[in-house]
Homo-oligomer: A and B are copies of this chain.
Amino acid sequence: MIIVMKKGAEQKEVDAVIQWIESVGYQAHVSKGVERTIIGAIGDEREKVRLKAAEDMPGVEKVMPILQPYKLASRETKDGDTIIQIGDVAVGGPKCVVIAGPCAVENEEQLLQTAHAVKKAGASMLRGGAFKPRTSPYSFQGLGEEGLKILAKARQETGLPIVTEVMSAADVELVEAYADVLQVGTRNVQNFALLKAVGLAKKPVLLKRGMMTTLEELLMSAEYILASGNEDVMLCERGIRTFETAMRNTLDISAVPVLKEKTHLPVIVDPSHAIGKWRFVLPLAKAAVAVGADGLMVEVHPDPQHALSDGPQSLKPKKFARLMEEIESIATIVRKDGVS
């Protein structure tokens, strides 16, 4: 933290700040400029948020953090990129990984049909929700464990690892028993009880950014999981909320290179939830690959018009196959080994 004193702050005010800094366990380092005195606080970074309280001391103009508040997620802590191995799939490695499937598991036929189709088109993992977070209590809430069993059957038939959402700390054990990757959804990005619970799980986590989560907050949420002992965290950009109403959310494509600079964790892009309309998913998928995403998450449904959720943004299997072809050629330019 840097504490900037007001122009003309008196010495006794400076002294009081120094004394207070020391009283809460930090060392003070004073630097006098022509117009302002600046005081640095040195010590354990992780609890420095408390130092913001200095802002109310007489003579203080403002208090500015100078270090990012996450450690384990930071590139300062770890050299190289985290590569997460899920069966044969390596997320964060030379290939751009594609996770595909329906928003919700509706029944066995729907899921198996989709699983075979996305497998054939070249996807590496299968997604599908058994527990569905829905804005309305009257909307379809998912099949629960029945859905997990259907997912497990699809894995058995296709060999595709399963990515599925867990909505509550109480369900982690159950979902972990079936899934290969635990997804933490957008609305739970700061559900700290859930973050701690998946941090204790033995399966990798796909953490979706909230609609109004800053990149720093997203990394802090990842830090919760890492600090609980689970090192396998994938971040997922899926669109943020802005004033624009022409699309469902605004895909923050810049988040990919900015995150890749700050963290060693892999970054996935979900163009389907971002844009909300299937006919724009293809161009956004191309952009995501071009910008350097480690993977894509795409919604595919055999009959979008009768889907129980997110129909408008789901691709039919045939259009998904075309997407796989079109991104392959871009991926071979920007990554070593193309799409998987």
Contacts and interface: CB of A to CB of B under 8 A. Distances in A.
Interface of A: 2, 4, 7, 20, 23-24, 29, 31, 33-36, 38, 40, 42, 46-47, 49-50, 52-57, 61-62, 64, 66-67, 69-70, 76, 133-140, 167-171, 187-188, 190-194, 196, 210-212, 214-217, 220, 223-224, 227-228, 240-247, 250-258, 261, 274-275, 277-280, 283-284, 286-292, 304-309, 311-312, 326, 329-330, 333-334
Contact of A304 (B53, B214, B290): B53
10 contacts: A56-B311, A133-B190, A137-B220, A137-B228, A167-B192, A167-B193, A168-B191, A187-B192, A244-B255, A333-B333
B242 A254 contact: no
Contact of A35 (B42, B280, B290): B42
Q: Max chain B CB contacts within 10 Å: which of A136, A242, A257? A: A136
A24 B287 CA distance: 35
A263 to B, nearest CB: 12
Contacts of A277: 55-56
Nearest to A52: B312
Contact of A329 (B211, B280, B333): B333
A66 B289 contact: no
Contact of A274 (B224, B254, B305): B254
A154 B281 CA distance: 41
Contacts of A24: 306
Contacts of A326: 333
A56 B212 contact: no
A168 B244 CA distance: 27
Contacts of A243: 212, 214, 240-243
B242 A56 contact: no
Given A167-B191, A187-B191, A246-B258, 8 more contacts: A7-B76, A46-B136, A54-B305, A188-B190, A212-B212, A215-B244, A251-B253, A257-B283
